[in-house]
Amino acid sequence: MSDSSHPADPRAQSAYGMSVALVSPDMLCRSAMTSALEECQNGPPREFTSYPPDLDETSRMLGNNFDVVIVDLDSDPEQALHLIDSICANGQAIVMVLSARKDPDLLLKCMRTGAREFLTLPFAAGAMAEALMRASALRSALRAPVMTDSRLLIFFSAKGGSGVTTLACNFAVSLARESERRTLLIDLNLPLGDAAINLGINTQYSIANAFQNSSRLDAHFLSSLLEQHNSGLFVLAAPSELGPTYVSSDAIDKLLEVACQNFDFVVVDAGSRLDLKCKHLLNESSTIYLVTQVGIPELRNSHRMIAQLSAGGRTKLEIVINRYDPRTTEIDDKQIAKALNCQAQWKIPNDFAAVRRMQYKANPFVDDDLPISRVIRQMTRSVCGQSSIQEKKKIFSFFG
């Protein structure tokens, strides 16, 4: 495997503090990659002019001595895929692949071997800079220590249409900001979930990729499936197309196990499909937020779920009344408590306008100074062990 890098700079550092290696027998391909790196103020990369004859030894060197390895697929796709697989198995480098072909089957093969980015020639403006920015975020996720005291926070409703996704998204954004700790939102609302749309995130991979490859799911692979919101929140999205309607409890457990090992807080949008067979959903570190509304079908279904969830006794359960309006006279607070056989811990004010703005603009409303936002921030502050938000006192005036 020939090396044409500058000898004085064996670990050329990028503008993002990362060392980059290029692997391609094609001089024009290497030149295009080098030019793209220079445009985003990168130092000279380490260039390798052939695929390695000894995969194990060279891949271990690439995977452990560089932060990013960009591999040319077109010169020899089969050899390139073997190299990618070996790098991902032997090191922590973030692997990007480069091809002049937009082949969905090839893209899927690369993802399954562990590649994080699929770059196409000719480069679109800013494509390399965006890829490096994502790689920098993923590198931080990969190198973080394994968590031993993570918290699993599951949003679930006993009836569809209760606003679970809206609450889960705003809660997760608020939690990432309030705690300033590593926070992940998993959209488990299958077959179709809207978390990514609500947050304005475009995703290349989804939770379906995690389930399809659950046997090799680890921190390295999980991080390749994530996108990061501008709040710092990491997101594992639901499929953009119709996703699987059935997922084994073992696959869900494996995903949650890996997620909890690598994030301080894992927020799950479970929609109205909570699998009670999943051990990670019902352990001592998890809290289930059962979201309901003031309506007879919702309260009846919630009563049944509360009885079932309380039977185990290990999981912390908090009741959330969404779209709550204290002026409603048909069913008052006393009747709600009687219907649920317990008190609700949280009452989210009804604010149709704020929710609609979020849906149209893909901006969480949790940062706005609104009653609905303040209650959600109270919820996240209680998770972080922080003091409650003090309500602003109204000053009485004769002049309005």
Q: Tell me: the pLDDT tens digits for 109-153? A: 888 788 888 898 888 878 888 888 888 877 766 565 566 678 999
In percent, the amount of the chain with pLDDT more than 90 equals 32
Longest Cα separation, the chain? 86
Q: Tell me: the pLDDT tens digits for 231-260? A: 999 999 998 877 666 788 888 999 999 999
Domain 20-143 belongs in CATH node 3.40.50.170: no
Could you tell me the CA-to-CA distances from 260 to 211, 215, 271, 330 in Å, in that order?
A: 16, 17, 20, 42
Nearest of 202, 223, 260 to residue 115 by alpha carbon: 223
The residue written with tokens 């995690």 in the block is 210
Indicate the CATH number for domain 151-384: 3.40.50.300
Within 8 A by CB and 6+ apart from 389, the residues are 374, 377, 378, 381
pTM over 0.85: no
Would you call 286 helix, strand, or coil by DSSP? Answer: strand
CA distance 283 to 380: 20
CA distance 12 to 266: 35
CA distance 69 to 363: 34
pLDDT (0 to 100) of residue 245: 65
Q: Which two tokens stand for residue 3?
A: 């090396």
**For residue 199, pLDDT beyond 90:** yes
Task: Tell me if 20-143 shares its fold with 151-384.
Answer: yes
* Least reliable range by pLDDT among 65-74, 106-115, 193-202, 299-308: 106-115
**For residue 16, pLDDT beyond 70:** no
* Per-residue pLDDT band at 58 (split at 50, 70, 90): confident
**For residue 86, pLDDT beyond 70:** yes
- Which amino acid would we find at residue 57? E
In percent, the amount of the chain with pLDDT more than 70 equals 85
Mean of the per-residue pLDDT values for the chain?
A: 83
Q: Tell me: the pLDDT tens digits for 326-362? A: 887 678 888 889 999 889 999 999 999 999 999 888 8
- Provide the residue ranges of all domains of the chain, joining segments of one domain with +: 20-143, 151-384
- Which amino acid would we find at residue 106? L
Could you tell me the CA-to-CA distances from 373 to 47, 227, 274, 341 in Å, in that order?
A: 51, 24, 26, 27
Q: Tell me: the pLDDT tens digits for 265-320? A: 999 999 887 766 677 766 777 899 999 998 888 899 899 888 888 776 666 899 99
Would you call 198 helix, strand, or coil by DSSP? Answer: helix
382, 178 Cβ separation under 8 angstroms: no
**For residue 15, pLDDT beyond 50:** no
The residue written with tokens 């770059």 in the block is 119
CA distance 307 to 104: 47
